[in-house]
Amino acid sequence: MGRYRAFMSYLRWHVTWWPDLVLAAAGVALSVLASESWAGDRPASGFVVLLIALCTGLPLVFLRHRPVAVALVLAVLLVVFDNAGSGLVDGVQILLPIVVGVVARQRTLPWTALAAVAACLATGVNLADPGIAFTSNYWYYVVGVVLLPVLIGRYLRGAAGRRDRGEEPAPLLDVLFAAGGVAYAVLGTWSYWDGHDLRVGGVGLLAVLAGLALGAIRWLPGSVLLFESALVLLADNLVPPVADTLRVVLFVALAVFASQATWRWLGAGYLLTCGVTLATVIDSTGDVTGLTYGVVATMVVAPAAIGAYVGVRRTAARREEELRAERARSDRLAERERIAREVHDIVAHHVGAIVLRAGAAQYAGAGGPAAEALADIRDTGHQVLDDLRGLLAVLRDPGPDTTLPVADPDEVMRDAAARVTAAGVEVVLDIAPATARAALVARASAARIVQEGLTNVLKHAGEGSRATVSVTADEKELVVEIRNTPGRTPTDLPSSGHGVAGMRERTRALGGRLTAGPLPDGGWRLVATFVLPVEAAAR
């Protein structure tokens, strides 16, 4: 037992923390790959690069649970390592706005403002060169690089709240994807827009197209991935420095594609992105070593792994939501069964008492019309008890072979008309022969409508009234119409007040409609229309 508990504890820890470990590993890899010190004029030692990469990536372990603290730590690291050398803190500068976006998604506005201000100050210190004035152009870039993820994070937070309230998410997320892609592509390539064969218009067009394509990434992930791959290859042949920026946009497209694709297609997308990335990093000599393959494979696996993780979590969340809905449905069914049993006990008790008293009165020697009425009461009571037991059996054991005996709908309507006629209401029942070809569920519901409608006539119109019941059907609909004239002596019977509402709900459940209202002569008219299934109409 102790080993089992230890294993389960380890398993829970592993399932809970492995996504955080993947994020930390991706952060370390990004920091190493983004460092320019490997090929700089004064390359830093591998120890320094690894130290900064570990300091950058390891805090991401706490990103899901402590995003504000992670943002502040990265901001401090960006300031502390600012003088370490060119390019050593590029990974920190890339991750810091992303972490601020996570803060905006998960935390309130004051915490978001704190993280955004710290990120702006740290970014300003990183971009400022000694002896050079910090102009408005710098501030524009500093604020823009932090403000964009904040806006996206706050929108995603609002969209999640709207989904919780049952509102439809707006398409603004696609607009933000496109705007963020254009902003990143333009800011990353604007210095290369001139001095090449394409000039300003051509290079700018490549950047804008690459960014705008992200607006359709949620709906056409495969097509956008192919489009971004083609743009990266085109830019690498025409303006190689621009391809480095567009490659990041390609990684974003791969991450979104991985969150929606199956594992087979994910492998195809990963290989495609590896091939495109390898083509852009090969120099003119074409010298490719095993280290190059390893670096490219590691570089591409990060967005693919993050996207696959998001897809797995999304699928798990969807399944959990479906499970919760199924559990709620089971709870409602159990509650309905409990209520049905209580209703059965109450109704069976009172109806049983009525049957016993009617039988006792009949046994006592009642004769004439009274004896007939008592016999009818006794038979009706027995039928009600049998119906209640059958309904309760279905509710208790709704197995595939459990069926509720259903009487012939025409007989039910004729029996209802006869009973109401015996109570003093003249009933004219007209059942068209075409109704026999209608679906049984529609005919059974129509019979219940006739029963309830004639009962309402007896309750509210009373003796001396006249009711006309018409049941017709064609290829598409079955129509029940009940009309009655006002009676001389309305019967004072108890009413639940839910008769018409219950009939309307029954009709609506079958895709039909019900209308009811008074007539000019003081009577009442009720019309129920049931839509027949196509297969029933074909018969």
Give the residue extent of every domain in the chain.
1-170, 407-539
At 473 the three-state DSSP class reads: strand
Instruction: Please name the residues in contact with 95: beta carbons below 8 A apart, sequence gap of 6 or more.
Output: 27, 30, 31, 56, 60, 74
Residue 392 CA to chain centroid, in angstroms? 35
- 480 pLDDT above the threshold of 90: yes
- 406 pLDDT above the threshold of 80: no
pLDDT at 482: 93
Six-digit token pair at 318?
């969807």
Q: Taking a C-beta distance cutoff of 8 angstroms, is the pair 116, 146 a contact?
A: yes
Provide the β-strand partners of residue 62: none
Q: Taking a C-beta distance cutoff of 8 angstroms, is the pair 467, 512 a contact?
A: no
535 vs 396, more confident: 396
Q: Taking a C-beta distance cutoff of 8 angstroms, is the pair 115, 100 a contact?
A: yes
How do 466-473 and 513-518 pair as beta strands?
unpaired
Tracing tokens 């333009």 back to the chain, one arrives at 186
pLDDT at 401: 44
> How high is the mean pLDDT of the chain?
76
Per mean pLDDT, which of 5-19, 46-60, 63-77 is the most reliable?
A: 63-77
pLDDT at 130: 52
pLDDT at 44: 55
- 268 pLDDT above the threshold of 60: yes
pLDDT at 526: 92
Query: What torsion, rounded to 10 degrees, do the Cα atoms 489, 494, 497, 499 define?
Result: -80
pLDDT at 245: 82
Confidence of residue 403 (pLDDT cuts 50, 70, 90): very low
| Long-range CB contacts for residues 66-70, cutoff 8 Å, separation at least 24 | 67/99, 67/102, 67/103, 67/106, 67/107, 67/115, 68/103, 68/107, 68/111, 68/114, 68/115, 70/99
Buried b (16+ CB within 10 A) or exposed e, 288-300: eeeeeeebbeebb
pLDDT at 531: 86
- 285 pLDDT above the threshold of 70: no
- Kindly state the average pLDDT of the residues 314-323: 82
Confidence of residue 430 (pLDDT cuts 50, 70, 90): very high
Q: Cα–Cα distance between 161 and 167 in angstroms, integer?
A: 9
Confidence of residue 167 (pLDDT cuts 50, 70, 90): very low
What would the pLDDT profile of 337-382 be if each residue is shown by its tens digit? 666 666 666 666 677 777 777 777 766 666 666 777 777 777 777 7
- 165 pLDDT above the threshold of 50: no
- 308 pLDDT above the threshold of 50: yes
Q: Taking a C-beta distance cutoff of 8 angstroms, is the pair 217, 177 a contact?
A: yes
Query: What torsion, rounded to 10 degrees, do the Cα atoms 44, 50, 51, 57 define?
Result: 130
- The lowest-confidence range among 206-215, 473-482, 488-497, 509-518 is 488-497
Nearest Cα residue to 122 out of 58, 176, 184, 56: 56
Enumerate the H helices of 191-289 as residue ranges.
Answer: 199-212, 221-238, 240-260, 263-281
Nearest Cα residue to 276 out of 229, 325, 321, 323: 229
- Kindly state the average pLDDT of the residues 292-302: 81
Q: Cα–Cα distance between 151 and 101 in angstroms, integer?
A: 8
- 220 pLDDT above the threshold of 60: yes
pLDDT at 72: 92
Q: Taking a C-beta distance cutoff of 8 angstroms, is the pair 528, 446 a contact?
A: yes
Nearest Cα residue to 351 out of 383, 373, 374, 375: 383
- 21 pLDDT above the threshold of 50: yes
Q: Taking a C-beta distance cutoff of 8 angstroms, is the pair 227, 213 a contact?
A: yes
Q: Cα–Cα distance between 430 and 413 in angstroms, integer?
A: 10
Q: Taking a C-beta distance cutoff of 8 angstroms, is the pair 47, 65 a contact?
A: no
Nearest Cα residue to 410 out of 505, 512, 480, 458: 480
For 407-539, CATH number out of 3.40.50.620, 3.30.420.40, 2.30.38.10, 3.30.565.10 equals: 3.30.565.10
At 194 the three-state DSSP class reads: coil
What would the pLDDT profile of 225-262 be if each residue is shown by its tens digit? 999 999 888 888 888 888 888 888 898 899 889 988 88
- Kindly state the average pLDDT of the residues 165-192: 67
- 479 pLDDT above the threshold of 90: yes
pLDDT at 38: 44
pLDDT at 131: 46
Tracing tokens 């009818």 back to the chain, one arrives at 376
At 65 the three-state DSSP class reads: coil
Q: Cα–Cα distance between 52 and 289 in angstroms, integer?
A: 26
Q: Cα–Cα distance between 52 and 202 in angstroms, integer?
A: 38
pLDDT at 483: 92
- The lowest-confidence range among 99-103, 196-200, 386-390, 438-442 is 196-200
- 456 pLDDT above the threshold of 80: yes
Six-digit token pair at 530?
């049931």
pLDDT at 368: 66
- Kindly state the average pLDDT of the residues 468-474: 91
Burial of 153 per CB tally in 10 Å (0-12, 13-18, 19+): buried
Buried b (16+ CB within 10 A) or exposed e, 503-516: bbebbeebebebeb
- 81 pLDDT above the threshold of 50: yes
Report the percentage of the chain scoring pLDDT > 70. Answer: 72
